[in-house]
A = this chain, B = another copy of it.
Amino acid sequence: MSVRIDNCKWIVTQNASREVLRNKSAYIEDGKIVEISDKITCEADHIIDGRRKLLLPGLVNTHTHLSMTLLRGYADDMPLEQWLGSKIWPLESKLTGELCYSGSLLGCLEMIRTGTTCFLDMYFYVEDVAKAVDKAGLRAFLSHAMMDGFADKKPTGLSEMADSTFRWIRALKNPRIGVAVAPHSPYTCSSETLIKAKEMAAAERVPLHTHLAETRGEQVEFEKTHGLREIDFLDKIGFLSENLVAAHCVWLTRSEVETLGKRQVKVAHCPVSNLKLAEGGVAPVPEMFESGVTVGLGTDGAASNNCLDMFDTMKICALIHKAHRWDPTVLPAQRVMDMATIGGASALGISESVGSVEEGKRADLIMVDLRSPNLNPIHGKDTIISDIVYSAKGENVDTTIVDGRILMAEKRYTSLDDDQIYREADLAAETLLQ
């Protein structure tokens, strides 16, 4: 299949020199960006008029729980423990594969709608999540949340489970869907599980994913129980590694950030969720960059956001660090744009193939319709990144392409029946809440 995009008003390449191109065309064949140039005349199966549009790399969401769209809006404005204990966990215990499939499909629809083309997911019933992602056409790493660190719970056959997840996903033979290994967090997993997970991820050369240092209370409790802070403990047992994508990382000291840098750990920064759960602190992202840590952005699950819109996350990320440091030059728009694209791709270990608009890369691309009041006027090349980060909304995206396949064109889904997805999600939510 081939796609020709004619005369894009702007192309934000996110290549090494962060070039912004004006009035260029692009040609895509067999899922790959073959050519970007002034004028392309060859035939194509699909032709898109780019004259009033902005082309940019598909956004990369480095931490989410897709199926939790079913719990969107269900429990807000309450303390974390109450939220988890009285609302989220009781419902999650009633989940089934079928329900997760409905929630995941809704999540995929939202990502396609708002310009996310690739994500890292951690949840349960991964086979069903994978079926939804396969159907939707997105790129993803999927992982099963492993937990065995609760004193009152026995280990639950974690490695068998991980094995079966690997087998199942690989049986799909979908090159866009990879596996990750996900011990839920240091405070819900035993050392044995953490290490086994790390070894499994290393052997299979896939991302290792966990929650880390999300709340201050968590850090303090962990230290009481283990005699060490989370980072020191994980470093001591040899868990920190270059394929680890650690979500949150809010409550860290400067030296802990340096440790992350030394071990080449990647961070999935989730500013909206962190604010909404009232965690107080703001992740030390400037220090992460100083220490050479690769940082991507994540929405977290819809229950704590409450949407999966990476544009929303970009804007709030850019705002909160400025306010927190009393410094408007902290995390300028370009840096935030990087986190949402090439930085996220690096965090997931796939920046060789996605995260930027360059010849030879896979065609994970989105287009923003500039015929929207919030995207006018555009002053030129130097301000376009600002316009994306501070003004653009996920709903301004009108075209989403993954691996050369058009998943949304002119704001219409090409592969999914949105009305059916809403109906099924409604039913699933009703079943869950009964």
Residues of A bordering B, CB below 8 Å:
69-70, 72-74, 76-80, 83, 106-107, 109-110, 113-114, 272, 274-280, 282, 302, 305-309, 312, 315-316, 318-320, 322-330, 332-333, 371-374, 376-379, 383-384, 386-387, 390-391, 393-396, 418-419, 421-422, 425-426, 428-429, 433
Contact = CB atoms under 8 A, between A and B. Distances in A.
Given A274-B323, A305-B390, A371-B418, A328 B77 contact: yes
Contacts of A280: 323-324, 326
Given A69-B373, A276-B318, A307-B391, 12 more contacts: A73-B379, A77-B386, A113-B374, A276-B328, A278-B323, A278-B325, A280-B323, A320-B320, A371-B419, A373-B418, A374-B394, A377-B428
A378 B71 CA distance: 9
Given A278-B328, A316-B316, A327-B278, A307 B77 contact: no
Contacts of A69: 373, 376-377
B383 A73 contact: yes
A421 to B, nearest CB: 8
A323 B72 contact: no
B106 A426 contact: no
Nearest to A430: B377
Nearest to A395: B395
Nearest to A277: B328
Given A113-B372, A378-B73, A79 B328 contact: yes
Contacts of A378: 73
30 contacts: A69-B376, A70-B377, A72-B376, A77-B333, A80-B328, A106-B373, A106-B376, A113-B373, A272-B319, A274-B323, A275-B322, A279-B323, A279-B326, A282-B323, A306-B374, A306-B390, A307-B393, A308-B374, A312-B315, A312-B393, A372-B395, A373-B421, A374-B394, A377-B426, A377-B429, A379-B429, A379-B433, A393-B394, A395-B395, A395-B396
A383 B74 contact: yes
A377 B425 contact: yes
A276 B336 CA distance: 14
A50 B426 CA distance: 18
Given A113-B372, A113-B373, A307-B390, A379 B326 contact: no
Pick the 6 closest A-B CB pairs, nearest first. Answer: A395-B395, A110-B373, A275-B319, A377-B429, A280-B326, A306-B390
A316 B272 CA distance: 9
Contacts of A114: 373-374
A385 to B, nearest CB: 9
A19 to B, nearest CB: 19
A376 B425 contact: yes
B374 A278 contact: no
A371 B34 CA distance: 36
B390 A73 contact: yes
A66 to B, nearest CB: 12
A94 B422 CA distance: 51
Contacts of A279: 323, 326
A433 B379 CA distance: 9
Contacts of A316: 316, 319
A72 B318 CA distance: 16
Given A316-B316, A386-B77, A307 B374 contact: yes
Nearest to A111: B373
A197 to B, nearest CB: 31
A276 B391 CA distance: 12
Contacts of A374: 72, 110, 113-114, 306-309, 394
B396 A78 contact: no
A399 to B, nearest CB: 16
A355 to B, nearest CB: 22
